[in-house]
């Protein structure tokens, strides 16, 4: 590793580490980005997990927040080969009767398909979709006085509710099931406060720019970010796993794209007793069990809307999803888990050989679980797509421990960098004036364990870099996209 002195060093090249490195370099600093793996990207990686020619997204797959990120939108990532493909249906939600709810680009068309809940859906989403350009920079940020307080208050009145409460506005199985699937991305019981927030943000994104996937795989996002960083004059070293501060070159600021567990291992001895105690109390959420398939044809969903969707939520009714998520949070393994499925190759021919397909899916399980959920997940797919199993020609699975071994930030299989409940929404990882500062001057945390939390948007990295720029270098942060 280089012994050159730098203004700033960033440890970890997930989307937040890359965002932090770019923001620091944009300010004119000498920046080194270190990655423990030989490959950049953290959760943004693509590999032939099953058979040659079948390219699977190892972790994240569909990227509504990457396309909508107020920071990423300021970067010329298309110049480095990043191309988004937007399926005609953002997400489909099939039911046992062969029908499906579907989130279309048009809010009014989506609402019209919800029958008796048409007006309720429009009343809930239409003001938020219209206000999103003013809301985005406030929602995807640490706790602060909002730039647009009235719009933020309107969003907050619904976002702070448990999904169980917000869904009571709806009467049809279609609207209730659809919102349950959205809210379940929060990876916690739907009775928890703020579980409506992620559901609302995902629906807003769907109606503003869809749920895109990057052509060629999620690795394309990391590659474009890294290429832009290097073009700005930044330096990258891979295969350098940092286990202690003594391994780092001299720098005025060090930003860690890691969770509290890794920060304690790397820098625990240099942190204050109180801060270490706070980090040890940090809570991780449910893990995931993931399956990737190589298929000899597309998934034969009964509901035609599913064939147009990049993402399919498999959970049937609101009640079934709520029961399954609560059970997993309580340490159980549901017989019928809620399954999030992506079928990228329907829209991106680079993902599989001609006439063949890939599919990607996971369900939520207790943190640290090693139970094999392959059969349960495949039964859920078969339930809504009879004949699915006959099309499987290759399979790869990850349990929670294998996911953590692949990416140490996924502690116990938690892909959100920690439980994103009301107790850790704005105070992650600890309650401090700035969540990005550690107790040691010059050391910062920039991972999804800081606000605004999980998702490929880079905003944790941007805000951490902004804090370091102000604290250490007395420089303003780079501008954000204003909508």
Q: What is the pLDDT of residue 2?
A: 57
pLDDT confidence band for 425 (50 / 70 / 90): confident
| Domain final position from 357, 377, 402 | 402
Q: Are residues 353 and 466 in the same domain?
A: no
Average pLDDT over residues 101-107: 98
Is residue 114 located within the same domain as residue 178?
A: yes
Give the pLDDT mean for 89-111.
98
Please determine, for residue 134, whether its predicted confidence score (pLDDT) is greater than 70: yes
Residue 157 CB-density burial (10 A; 0-12 exposed, 13-18 middle, 19+ buried): exposed
In a domain, 482, yes or no: no
For residues 214 and 199, what is the distance between their CA atoms, to the nearest angstrom?
22
Q: What is the mean pLDDT of residues 350-363?
A: 98
The residue from 368, 402, 436 where one domain ends is: 402
How does residue 427 score in pLDDT terms, banded at 50, 70 and 90?
confident
Q: Let me know if residue 1 belongs to a domain.
A: no
Q: Are 352 and 332 contained in the same domain?
A: yes
pLDDT in tens, 322-343: 999 999 999 999 999 999 999 9
Phi, psi angle pair for 246, to nearest 5°: -65, -20
Residue 297 CA to residue 391 CA, distance in Å, equals: 6
Instruction: Please report which confidence band the pLDDT of residue 426 belongs to, taking 50, 70 and 90 as the band edges.
Output: confident
Pick the more confident residue, 148 or 394: 394
346, pLDDT greater than 60: yes
Residues 375 and 303 in one domain: yes
Of 40, 31, 45, 86, the closest CA to residue 64 belongs to 86
The confidence band for 177, taking pLDDT boundaries of 50, 70 and 90, is very high
Stretch 418-430: mean pLDDT, rounded? 92
Q: Which of 371, 402, 433 is the last residue of a domain?
A: 402
What is the reported pLDDT for 281? Answer: 96
Percent of the chain predicted with pLDDT > 70: 99
Spatial neighbors of 268 by CB under 8 A, at least 6 apart, are 276
CA distance 457 to 205: 12
The domain spanning residue 107 has which CATH number?
3.90.660
Give tens-digit pLDDT for 281-331: 999 999 999 999 999 999 999 999 999 999 999 999 999 999 999 999 999
| Number of domains the chain contains | 2
> What is the pLDDT, as a whole number, of residue 3?
60
pLDDT tier, 483 (very low <50, low <70, confident <90, very high otherwise): confident
The reply to whether 29 falls in a domain is yes
Two tokens, residue 467: 């804090």
Let me know if residue 121 belongs to a domain: yes
* Confidence tier at 207 by pLDDT (50, 70, 90): very high
Least confident of 52-66, 140-154, 227-241: 140-154
Domain assignment of residue 483, yes or no: no
- Would you mind telling me the total number of residues written for the chain in this entry? 483
292 with 434, same domain: the answer is no
Q: Is residue 332 part of a domain?
A: yes
Same domain for 218 and 208: no
Q: Is the same domain home to 159 and 122?
A: yes
Mean pLDDT of the chain: 96
111 shares its domain with 155: yes
Per-residue pLDDT band for 202 (boundaries 50, 70, 90) equals very high
Q: What is the pTM of this model?
A: 0.96
> Which range marks the domain in which residue 432 is found?
6-82+214-284+408-473
pLDDT tens column, 265-274: 999 999 999 9
Clarify whether residues 316 and 378 are in a common domain.
yes
Query: Is residue 481 one of the residues assigned to a domain?
Result: no
pLDDT at position 1: 58
Closest CA to 301 of 329, 356, 343, 272: 343
Tokens 């988004």 correspond to 84
Predicted local distance difference test score (pLDDT) of residue 96? 98
Beta strands 309-314 and 89-94, pairing class: parallel
Domain assignment present for 28: yes
The reply to whether 199 and 65 lie within a common domain is no
What is the per-residue pLDDT for 283?
97
CATH code for position 255: 3.50.50.60
Average pLDDT over residues 142-161: 91
Is 140 within 8 Å of 149 (Cβ atoms)?
A: no
Report pLDDT digits (tens) over 433-468.
999 999 999 999 999 999 999 999 999 999 999 999
State the average pLDDT over residues 52-77.
97
Residues 249 and 327 in one domain: no
Instruction: Give per-residue pLDDT as tens, 181-198.
Output: 999 999 999 999 999 999
DSSP alpha helix (H) spans, 13-101: 15-26, 64-68
* 238 pLDDT above the threshold of 60: yes
Q: Are residues 17 and 47 in the same domain?
A: yes
Q: Angle at Cα 64 formed by Cα 95 and Cα 135, nearest 5°?
A: 110
């Amino acid at each position: 590793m280089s012994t050159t002195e730098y203004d700033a060093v960033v440890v970890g090249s997930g989307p937040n580490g890359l965002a932090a490195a770019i923001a620091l370099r944009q300010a004119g600093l000498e920046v080194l980005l270190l990655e423990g793996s030989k490959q950049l990207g953290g959760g943004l990686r693509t590999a032939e997990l099953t058979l040659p020619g079948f390219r699977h997204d190892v972790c994240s797959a569909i990227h509504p927040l990457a396309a909508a990120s107020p920071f990423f939108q300021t970067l010329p990532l298309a110049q480095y080969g990043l191309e988004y493909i937007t399926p005609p249906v953002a997400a489909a939600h099939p039911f046992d009767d062969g029908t499906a709810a579907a989130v279309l680009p048009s809010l009014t068309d989506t609402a019209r398909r919800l029958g008796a809940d048409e007006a309720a859906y429009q009343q809930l989403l239409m003001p938020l979709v219209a206000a999103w350009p003013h809301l985005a920079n406030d929602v995807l940020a640490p706790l602060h006085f909002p730039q647009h307080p009235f719009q933020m208050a309107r969003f907050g009145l619904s976002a702070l509710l448990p999904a169980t409460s917000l869904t009571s506005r709806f009467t049809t199985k279609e609207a209730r099931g659809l919102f349950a699937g959205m809210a379940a991305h929060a990876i916690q019981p739907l009775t928890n406060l703020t579980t409506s927030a992620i559901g609302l943000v995902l629906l807003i994104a769907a109606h503003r720019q869809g749920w895109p996937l990057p052509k060629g795989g999620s690795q394309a996002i990391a590659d474009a970010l890294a290429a832009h960083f290097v073009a700005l004059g930044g330096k990258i070293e891979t295969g350098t796993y940092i286990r202690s501060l003594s391994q780092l070159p001299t720098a005025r600021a060090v930003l860690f794209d890691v969770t509290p567990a890794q920060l304690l291992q790397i820098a625990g001895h240099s942190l204050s007793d109180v801060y270490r105690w706070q980090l040890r109390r940090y809570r991780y959420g449910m893990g995931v069990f993931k399956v990737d398939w190589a298929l000899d044809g597309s998934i034969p969903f009964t509901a035609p809307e599913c064939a147009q969707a990049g993402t399919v939520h498999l959970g049937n009714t609101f009640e079934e999803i709520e029961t399954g998520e609560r059970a997993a949070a309580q340490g159980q393994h549901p017989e019928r888990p809620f399954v999030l499925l992506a079928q990228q190759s329907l829209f991106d021919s680079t993902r599989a050989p001609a006439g063949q397909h890939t599919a990607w899916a996971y369900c939520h399980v207790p943190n640290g679980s090693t139970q094999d959920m392959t059969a349960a997940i495949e039964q859920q797919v078969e339930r809504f797509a009879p004949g699915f199993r006959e099309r499987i020609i290759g399979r790869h699975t990850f349990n929670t421990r294998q996911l953590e071994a692949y990416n140490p930030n996924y502690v116990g299989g938690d892909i959100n960098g920690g439980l994103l409940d009301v107790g850790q929404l704005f105070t992650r990882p600890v309650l401090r004036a700035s969540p990005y500062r550690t107790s040691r001057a010059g050391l910062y945390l920039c991972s999804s364990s800081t606000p605004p939390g999980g998702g490929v948007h880079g905003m944790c990295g941007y805000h951490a870099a902004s804090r370091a720029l102000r604290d250490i270098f007395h420089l303003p942060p780079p501008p954000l996209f204003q909508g």
